[in-house]
């Protein structure tokens, strides 16, 4: 406790030692930052398109990371690779002294979400292949564009401060941020500004919508035998998996409505005439707070052990593959960001952008309201009784470690299902590009607020200490011996990478990825019902 208050005092001192900048100087620098981000629109577009074309799944973001690390090194950042024992994770640092601004965004794709961008009907680029069906290809371009713009101003004005950028590796597996926290990635950071794709410019504070979770793989060990010749000599590990799932599904009715749980069978045996000696099932246990998440996980463990007893097998291992704390965002930082959101406003959408959006909405059977034209309001915390399930993001672990916000930016189309090919359609089109530029402007302005107004950092920490963590203290959901599940998705990426490589974006030859693919923007379903394939020009055939 003494150590905590000492740290807090030191941090408070760090901020109060800085002299606040005069309001007209802040204003002047903010105008320059907006211009600087605008001048970077082409480089932002290239980053968005490039990462889209790599289409890499969690823990296998090798091309995306190689590309971004090289780009950041060219721009003067010092990069440390392989952080926290994760091959595709890195930190890129520039500048010196306080404040230290930590900037992050996710980078991984979704299985089976391969889809031609700019085409408002189902048209995979690689059949069965992964794709950016969440839009994570746009987040680091937002962060990097903002960072480079602010770095220019810091150099020009000789402003002290450190910028540190990191990728949200394997966010779809909620697989890394708890390890980043354990590794001490945020130990010297004053604030964390995180960016995530959305269909609007938005920010919120307090308890966010959604859940935290434990993701765990239950592996059973049985005994093989000839399934017809001597089935009585075998003990099926698949039986244990099925009994666990049946048990869980009966128990599900008696769980809180706020919970969410789901599973996939990862190994169900090899062939029917061999009694499966091994089998495994992968569960996500989601709830609203640390204690309830742990209770749900413990219940899963009990049911798994019972299933093993019933089937005469053993529960060989329970491996944690990912975890996430529920998210709670910082009030002063969110309020400052919201002022910048109002100032920047939404991009000007073209008729082509709106046609793509409305056609896709009709395709999916949802109201065809098109793209948003008004910025979202500053969302206060969701009242406890209104919190019902929802997704997770391991930025939650970061948000309980230091003052954090997530800036959501308008690079996607409203009313999409999420984790789906439809969510990839806008993500390498002018919608994504303009949305990323708008997001980068807001982020750059908020970085300037942190650099130039020390009071903001002080009040962010006061809220973090005296309100957010007054009674709830962060404790990791990962166990001391857990290690990042870096081998996940290896097989899928080995299988699809050769096909994906044919589609990697080459910005030296094509102004945009749509041009390289030969996609007419926007492409919509024809009146005869066909989803038209692009017609690559002679030069785009590789
Ligand atoms: Zn996401």
65-105 pLDDT tens trace: 999 999 999 999 999 999 999 999 999 999 999 999 999 99
For ligand 1, the distance from its centroid to the CA atom of residue 134, given in whole angstroms, is 6
Q: Is 54 left (phi over 0), alpha (psi -120 to 50) or beta?
A: alpha
Which whole number is the average pLDDT over 287-301? 97
Which whole number is the average pLDDT over 348-360? 98
For ligand 1, the distance from its centroid to the CA atom of residue 212, given in whole angstroms, is 14
Q: Is the pLDDT of residue 12 over 90?
A: no
- Write the CA distances from 369 to 288, 366, 421, 468, integer angstroms: 32, 9, 20, 37
Q: How confident is the model at residue 222 (pLDDT cuts 50, 70, 90)?
A: very high
For ligand 1, the distance from its centroid to the CA atom of residue 189, given in whole angstroms, is 23
Strand, coil or helix: what is 409?
A: strand
Which whole number is the average pLDDT over 224-234? 97
The per-residue pLDDT for 19 is: 77
pLDDT in tens, 99-149: 999 999 999 999 999 999 999 999 999 999 999 999 999 999 999 999 999
For ligand 1, the distance from its centroid to the CA atom of residue 43, given in whole angstroms, is 23
For ligand 1, the distance from its centroid to the CA atom of residue 391, given in whole angstroms, is 9
Q: How many CB atoms lie within 10 A of CB 422?
A: 23
For residues 49 and 508, give the distance between their C-alpha atoms in angstroms, rounded to a whole number. 13
Q: How confident is the model at residue 389 (pLDDT cuts 50, 70, 90)?
A: confident
Q: What order do you get walking across the sheet with 100-106 strand by strand? A: 78-81, 90-96, 161-168, 100-106, 191-198, 404-410
For ligand 1, the distance from its centroid to the CA atom of residue 393, given in whole angstroms, is 7
Strand, coil or helix: what is 35?
A: helix
For ligand 1, the distance from its centroid to the CA atom of residue 105, given in whole angstroms, is 9
For ligand 1, the distance from its centroid to the CA atom of residue 130, given in whole angstroms, is 15
For ligand 1, the distance from its centroid to the CA atom of residue 99, given in whole angstroms, is 27
For ligand 1, the distance from its centroid to the CA atom of residue 314, given in whole angstroms, is 36
Chain-centroid distance, C-alpha 431: 19
Q: What are phi and psi of 13, to 5 degrees?
A: -60, -40
Pairing mode, if any, of strands 90-96 and 278-287?
unpaired
For ligand 1, the distance from its centroid to the CA atom of residue 324, given in whole angstroms, is 13
Q: How confident is the model at residue 383 (pLDDT cuts 50, 70, 90)?
A: confident
For ligand 1, the distance from its centroid to the CA atom of residue 326, given in whole angstroms, is 14
The per-residue pLDDT for 4 is: 46
The per-residue pLDDT for 17 is: 52
For ligand 1, the distance from its centroid to the CA atom of residue 538, given in whole angstroms, is 36
Q: Is the pLDDT of residue 501 over 50?
A: yes
Tokens of 474: 């962060």
More confident residue, 298 or 384: 298
For ligand 1, the distance from its centroid to the CA atom of residue 303, given in whole angstroms, is 30
Q: Is the pLDDT of residue 403 over 70?
A: yes
Q: Is the pLDDT of residue 538 over 80?
A: no
Q: In 3D, which of 401, 458, 427 has the Cα closest to residue 18? A: 458
For ligand 1, the distance from its centroid to the CA atom of residue 135, given in whole angstroms, is 7
Which whole number is the average pLDDT over 364-371? 98
More confident residue, 519 or 19: 519
The per-residue pLDDT for 18 is: 67
Burial of 132 (0-12, 13-18, 19+ CB in 10 A): buried
């Amino acid at each position: 406790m003494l150590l905590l208050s000492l740290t807090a005092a030191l941090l408070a001192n760090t901020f109060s030692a800085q002299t606040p900048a005069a309001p007209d100087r802040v204003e002047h620098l903010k105008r320059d930052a907006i211009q600087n981000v605008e001048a970077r629109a082409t480089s932002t577009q290239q980053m968005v398109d490039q990462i889209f074309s790599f289409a890499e799944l969690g823990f296998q973001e090798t091309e995306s990371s190689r590309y971004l690390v090289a780009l950041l090194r060219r721009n003067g950042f010092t990069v440390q690779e392989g952080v926290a024992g994760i091959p595709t994770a890195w930190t890129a640092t520039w500048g010196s002294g306080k404040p230290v601004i930590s900037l992050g965004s996710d980078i991984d794709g979704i299985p089976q979400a391969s889809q031609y961008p700019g085409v408002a009907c189902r048209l995979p680029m690689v059949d069965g292949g992964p794709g950016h069906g969440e839009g994570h290809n746009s987040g680091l371009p937002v962060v990097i564009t903002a960072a480079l713009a602010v770095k220019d101003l810091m150099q020009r004005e000789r402003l002290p401060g450190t910028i540190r950028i990191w990728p949200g590796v394997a966010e779809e597996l909620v697989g890394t941020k708890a390890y980043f926290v354990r590794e001490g990635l945020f130990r010297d950071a004053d604030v964390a500004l995180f960016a995530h794709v959305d269909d609007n410019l938005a920010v919120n504070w307090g308890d966010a919508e959604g859940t935290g979770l434990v993701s765990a793989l239950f592996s059973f060990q049985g005994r093989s035998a000839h399934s017809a010749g001597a089935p009585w000599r075998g003990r099926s590990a698949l039986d244990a998996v099925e009994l666990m799932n049946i048990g869980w599904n009966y128990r599900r009715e008696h769980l809180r409505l706020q919970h969410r749980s789901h599973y996939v069978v990862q190994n169900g045996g090899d062939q029917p005439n061999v009694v499966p000696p091994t089998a495994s099932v992968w569960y996500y246990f989601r709830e609203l707070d640390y204690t309830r998440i742990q209770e749900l996980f413990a219940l899963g463990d009990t049911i798994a052990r019972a299933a093993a007893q019933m089937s005469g097998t053993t529960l060989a291992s329970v491996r944690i593959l990912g975890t996430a704390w529920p998210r709670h965002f910082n009030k002063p930082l969110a309020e400052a960001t919201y002022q910048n959101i109002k100032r920047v406003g939404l991009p000007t959408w073209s008729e082509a952008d709106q046609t793509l959006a409305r056609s896709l909405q009709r395709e999916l059977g949802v109201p065809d309201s098109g793209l948003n034209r008004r910025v979202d309001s500053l969302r206060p915390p969701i009242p406890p009784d209104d919190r019902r399930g929802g997704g997770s993001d391991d930025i939650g672990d970061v948000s309980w470690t230091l003052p954090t916000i997530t800036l959501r930016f308008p690079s996607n189309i409203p009313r999409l299902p999420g984790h789906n090919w439809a969510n990839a359609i806008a993500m390498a089109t002018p919608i994504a590009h303009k949305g990323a530029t708008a997001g980068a402007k807001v982020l750059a302005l908020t970085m300037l607020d942190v650099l130039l107004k020390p009071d903001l950092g002080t009040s962010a920490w006061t809220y973090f200490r005296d309100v957010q963590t007054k009674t709830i203290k962060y404790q990791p959901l990962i166990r001391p011996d857990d290690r990042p599940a870096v081998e996940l998705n290896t097989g899928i990426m080995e299988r699809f990478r050769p096909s994906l490589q044919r589609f990697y974006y080459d910005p030296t030859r094509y102004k945009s990825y749509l041009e390289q693919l030969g996609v007419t923007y926007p492409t919509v379903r024809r009146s005869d019902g066909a989803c038209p394939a692009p017609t690559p020009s002679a030069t785009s055939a590789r």
